[in-house]
């Protein structure tokens, strides 16, 4: 908890520098070593704070040069954000707006819409179906010409289907990203998440790991499919999988006590898993924090695989092995397809992105001798 407090203080302090002009657009922020000295915190804390500001669009990195203040700063989050000013209006509804990979997706969408002179109306649901209903009603009231939607709790029955049917009746094209509602089978852009879950587990199996924990969010189809691929890898490699090593959770269950319960699963030396596959990089970093509390090292004691290859994957001294999510590319493709659908008065085409595993230093071969001696 203290680590999170320090990280929040650093992040907000740097944000104040940006907002009050201490660091101007295009100027480099102090190097990591200087920030460590100034704030008297660890490199891990600095990297988390700076990494999140990069992900939110306040900072950008130049390889081999440093980290700079962005020229175009993101606008404050609001229930509805409107950008650009033209006759055509594209609505975008996401589950979240200003954290994790979502800013990158939104940047991809808005950069293409801006280049074509389209207005963007942006809102988010916080992965809550009632908020999704409000967003849909607002988009219909504003008579958007097209709509890009990230589904809310896509593995559950959605009570807002009637609004999508109304869009169809009004000949308003819509496209879903990351997942889709199976009841509607709409046009969609998404990852092959089952394949991604398979690749993550297969990588660890090929490194000699057998007791592999899987942690998956199950009120979104991404997590369901990632878990399905994870399980398939064990079947194809004929490795028994212990049921207690499959941990599932929902949006509402992602609270501090959940992370503590994960930590307890690594306490016993006799029954400790040697590796873990996480629903996303965000969860993987939380697991990493729990392992640090137990004085366990990654990958020497536990190998760890994330998902999405977000900025968080390289935010600490442990660089996460992770599955690539196309993020900005997906956003741009969604904007291209919805504009084409609006102009041609036809449904946009779907596309499935093939996953790719990026191997970094969070995974290593299973050391049987070390495991027995531990």
Q: pLDDT digit string (tens) for 312-354?
A: 899 889 999 999 999 999 999 999 999 999 998 778 899 999 9
Same domain, yes or no, for 63 and 119?
no
Q: Indicate the helix (H) or strand (E) that contains 77.
A: none
Same domain, yes or no, for 65 and 86?
no
Q: Report the C-alpha gap between 9 and 335 in whole angstroms.
A: 36
Q: Would you list the DSSP string of 164-201? A: HHHHHHTT--EEEES---TTT---EEEE-HHHHHHHHH
Q: Is 285 exposed, middle or buried (0-12, 13-18, 19+ CB in 10 A)?
A: buried
Q: Is 131 within a domain? A: yes
Same domain, yes or no, for 223 and 177?
no
Q: What is the mean pLDDT of the chain?
A: 88
Same domain, yes or no, for 268 and 225?
yes
CA neighbours within 13 Å on the CB side: how many for 282?
A: 9
pTM score, whole prediction: 0.77
Same domain, yes or no, for 229 and 367?
yes
Same domain, yes or no, for 297 and 198?
yes
Among 42, 69, 96, the domain-final residue is 69
Question: Total domain count for the chain?
Answer: 3
Same domain, yes or no, for 221 and 110?
no
pLDDT at 234: 97
Q: Report the C-alpha gap between 153 and 189 in whole angstroms.
A: 17
Same domain, yes or no, for 42 and 97?
no
Q: Is 125 within a domain? A: yes
Same domain, yes or no, for 160 and 201?
no
Q: Is 74 within a domain? A: no
Strands 351-353 and 188-191: parallel
Residue 21's domain is classified under what CATH number? 1.10.10.10
Which residues span the domain enclosing 224? Answer: 193-321+359-373
Q: Is 298 within a domain? A: yes
pLDDT at 78: 39
Largest separation between any pair of C-alpha atoms in the chain: 69
Angle formed by the axes of helices 129-141 and 161-169, to 10°? 20
Residue 202's domain is classified under what CATH number? 3.40.50.2300
Residue 326 CA: distances (Å) to CA of 102, 177, 269, 310, 365: 11, 11, 38, 10, 28
Q: Is 84 exposed, middle or buried (0-12, 13-18, 19+ CB in 10 A)?
A: middle
pLDDT one-digit tens code per residue, 161-191? 999 999 999 999 999 999 999 999 999 999 9
Same domain, yes or no, for 117 and 241?
no
Same domain, yes or no, for 202 and 260?
yes
pLDDT at 89: 92
pLDDT at 61: 77
Q: Is 75 within a domain? A: no
pLDDT at 76: 45
Q: Report the C-alpha gap between 148 and 187 in whole angstroms.
A: 10
Q: Report the C-alpha gap between 27 and 59 in whole angstroms.
A: 10
Q: Indicate the helix (H) or strand (E) that contains 264.
A: helix 256-265
pLDDT over 70 at 308, yes or no? yes
Strands 212-217 and 246-249: parallel
Q: Report the C-alpha gap between 114 and 336 in whole angstroms.
A: 11
Same domain, yes or no, for 174 and 130?
yes
């Amino acid at each position: 908890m203290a680590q999170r407090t320090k990280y929040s203080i650093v992040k907000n302090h740097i944000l104040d520098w940006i907002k009050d002009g201490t660091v101007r657009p295009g100027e480099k922020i102090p190097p990591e070593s200087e920030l460590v000295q100034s704030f008297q915190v660890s490199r891990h804390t600095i990297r988390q704070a700076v990494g999140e500001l990069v992900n939110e669009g306040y900072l950008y990195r130049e390889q081999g040069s440093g980290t700079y203040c962005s020229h175009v700063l993101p606008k404050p989050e609001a229930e509805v954000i409107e950008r650009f000013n033209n006759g055509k209006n594209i609505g975008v509804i996401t589950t979240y707006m200003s954290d994790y990979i979502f800013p990158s997706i939104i940047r991809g969408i808005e950069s293409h819409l801006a280049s074509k002179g389209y207005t963007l109306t942006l809102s988010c649901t916080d992965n809550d179906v009632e908020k999704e209903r409000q967003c849909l009603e607002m988009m219909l009231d504003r008579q958007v010409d097209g709509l890009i939607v990230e589904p809310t709790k896509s593995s559950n029955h959605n009570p807002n289907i009637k609004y999508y049917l109304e869009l169809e009746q009004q000949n308003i094209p819509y496209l879903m990203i990351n997942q889709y509602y199976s009841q509607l089978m709409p046009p969609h852009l998404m990852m092959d998440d089952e394949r991604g879950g398979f690749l993550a587990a297969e990588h660890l199996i090929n490194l000699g790991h057998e007791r592999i924990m899987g942690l998956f969010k199950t009120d979104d189809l991404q997590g369901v499919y990632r878990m399905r691929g994870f399980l398939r890898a064990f079947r194809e490699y004929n490795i028994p999988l212990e049921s207690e090593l499959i941990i599932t959770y929902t949006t509402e269950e992602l609270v501090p006590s959940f992370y503590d319960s994960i930590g307890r699963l690594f306490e016993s030396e006799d029954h400790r898993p040697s590796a873990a596959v996480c629903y996303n990089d965000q969860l993987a970093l939380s697991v990493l924090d729990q392992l640090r509390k137990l004085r366990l090292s990654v990958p020497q004691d536990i190998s760890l695989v994330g998902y999405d290859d977000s900025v968080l994957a390289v935010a600490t001294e442990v660089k996460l092995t992770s599955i690539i999510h196309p993020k900005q590319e997906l956003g741009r493709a969604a904007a291209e397809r919805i504009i084409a659908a609006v102009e041609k008065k036809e449904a946009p085409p779907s596309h499935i992105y093939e996953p790719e595993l990026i191997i970094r230093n969070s995974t290593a071969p299973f050391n049987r001798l070390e495991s027995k001696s531990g």
